[in-house]
Amino acid sequence: MLINIPRWQNIGGLLVAVLFAAMIALGLSHPSPADDSPASKISGFSPYVTKDGAITRPTDYRETFLHLGTYAVATKPDKPLDEMHVVYARPEDVRAYRRDGKFPDGATLVKEVTRVGSDKLTTGQSHWATDIKLWFVMIKDAKGRFPGNDLWGDGWGWALFMGKEPARNVATDYSTDCRTCHVPAKKDDWVYIRGYPVLKN
């Protein structure tokens, strides 16, 4: 049995379908902002810091940052090397340091700490970085923006991300979780610049 549907009803159904498809497309191209969306950031300061001072880990640092230097570390006295500390900074922060002799407001440093591979090769006993144990992130805050936040102080924001949980800052108090390792570098604004020859003019 054939049912005749008036022409205007066909057109109406087509318009509804087109509008529905447009709404879906609009929703996909403009997703709801996440906690780390640009709207949650402090304008003009850092893309890695939210308005409440939470620090996110730069995920593209190997592609967009410059390699500052690498420390080979033996974490236990009289034991073999067991960590590599590989440090990166944004190109604009390196240029500013070369020009001014200090890191600018918003400067971002990323240190990846890796385990170490070792073997006697034709060039001698060799060591190299293997899998990542953790990341350490410092963001320069020259204005003291977060006086009530325990992850900010001494001119920096401090964050620690573990290799098995790279999206969560596990540090809770910079003075005990982060700064203690930087005391020997206090005179250099808490940064071990002695190992970063790229900062020299």
C-beta separation of 196 from 178 below 8 A:
no
Does residue 29 or residue 39 have the better pLDDT?
A: 39
Among all chains, which residue has been given the structure tokens 């591979």? 117
Strand partners of residue 113 = 85, 134
- For the entire predicted model, the pTM comes to 0.78
pLDDT of residue 4: 52
| pLDDT greater than 60 at residue 33 | no
141, 155 Cβ separation under 8 angstroms: yes
Q: What is the pLDDT of residue 44?
A: 84
- The answer to whether 52 and 36 have CB atoms below 8 angstroms apart is no
- Percentage of the chain modeled with pLDDT above 70: 79
Apex CA 96: angle with CA 93 and CA 182, to 5°?
A: 60
**Residue 45 scores a pLDDT above 70:** yes
pLDDT (average), residues 80-89: 96
Long-range CB contacts (< 8 A, 24+ apart) of 131-135? 131/163, 132/163, 133/83, 133/162, 133/163, 134/160, 134/161, 134/162, 134/163, 135/57, 135/110, 135/111, 135/160, 135/161, 135/163, 135/166
Domains of the chain: 38-199 (3.50.70.20)
